[in-house]
Amino acid sequence: METQKIGKLILIRHQESEWNKLGKWTGFTDIGLSLDGLKKAKEIGKQIKDFHFDYIFISVLKRTKETLDQILSESSINKDIIIESVKDINERDYGDYTGKNKWDIEKELGHDEFVKLRRGWDVSIPNGESLKMVYERSVPFFLNRVLPILREEKNVLIVAHGNSLRSIIKYIENISDEDISNLEMDFGDVLFYDVDNNGHILKKEILKV
């Protein structure tokens, strides 16, 4: 049986924000990119300038829009392309830890508990979200909005956040609840996926900028 042709999925994390630079948990706070973040996003645009996109999704937070704006400024991407802002791929809500320095929290909690909190699957922050909760909003968006576009043989770019992208990657790559703590979405990485009709991985390429 012939495999159905499907578009390519490209995932990019927003680049360094002002709070990333300071080591602060940002979450839903609408912080813009640092100068280094703007430069890195522009460089990504140069590296993928000839790639054809049919549809682009970003979160509603401006650090994803600023990243995309820099990418588009250096690329030959059709400027009339549909760009949609979606809250389902916003960053994890860091609740009571929002705005606090990550490394200060590590000292308070101890290294092991800090790693569980930061990277674990079902560990909630007080008045915030766990990665599982992020997954429960980002993956339905991927399945209901993105996958139908890919099935039309169209290429989709998603510019989002470390945890919303980790959630989507968990689904795509069938990563276990235990192993998801080992997955990091680095600044400067551009992930290219070929997926099957159910949105699971067939092929993955990583461009490091």
Is domain 16-36+60-208 annotated with CATH 1.10.357.10?
no
Catalytic residue at 200?
Answer: no
Q: What is the dihedral of CA 74, 76, 81, 84, to 10 degrees?
A: -30
What SS3 string covers 75-142? CCCCCCCEEEECHHHCCCCCHHHCCCEHHHHHHHHCHHHHHHHHHCCCCCCCCCCCHHHHHHHHHHHH
pLDDT tens per residue across span 19-43: 999 999 999 999 999 999 999 999 9
DSSP state, residue 2: P
Annotated catalytic residue, options 14, 16, 66, 161: 14
Instruction: Please say whether the beta carbons of 60 and 83 come within 8 A.
Output: no
- Place 79 in a pLDDT band, splitting at 50, 70 and 90: low
Instruction: Please say whether the beta carbons of 53 and 157 come within 8 A.
Output: yes
Annotated catalytic residue, options 16, 91, 129, 161: 91
pLDDT at residue 46 in the model: 94
pLDDT score of 136 more than 60: yes
Q: What is the dihedral of CA 160, 163, 166, 170, to 10 degrees?
A: -120
In b/e form, how buried is each residue of 94-121, taking b as 16+ CB within 10 angstroms? beebbeeebeebeeeeeeeebeebbbbb
- Place 80 in a pLDDT band, splitting at 50, 70 and 90: confident
Q: Enumerate the β-bridge partners of residue 206.
A: 191
Catalytic residue at 111?
Answer: no
pLDDT tens per residue across span 94-133: 999 999 999 999 999 999 999 999 999 999 899 999 999 9
Beta-sheet pairing, 8-13 with 189-195: antiparallel
Q: Indicate the pTM of the whole model.
A: 0.95
pLDDT score of 3 more than 70: no
pLDDT score of 1 more than 50: no
Two structure tokens written together for 118: 């930061």
The domain limits of the chain are 16-36+60-208
In which residue are the tokens 């945890």 written?
163
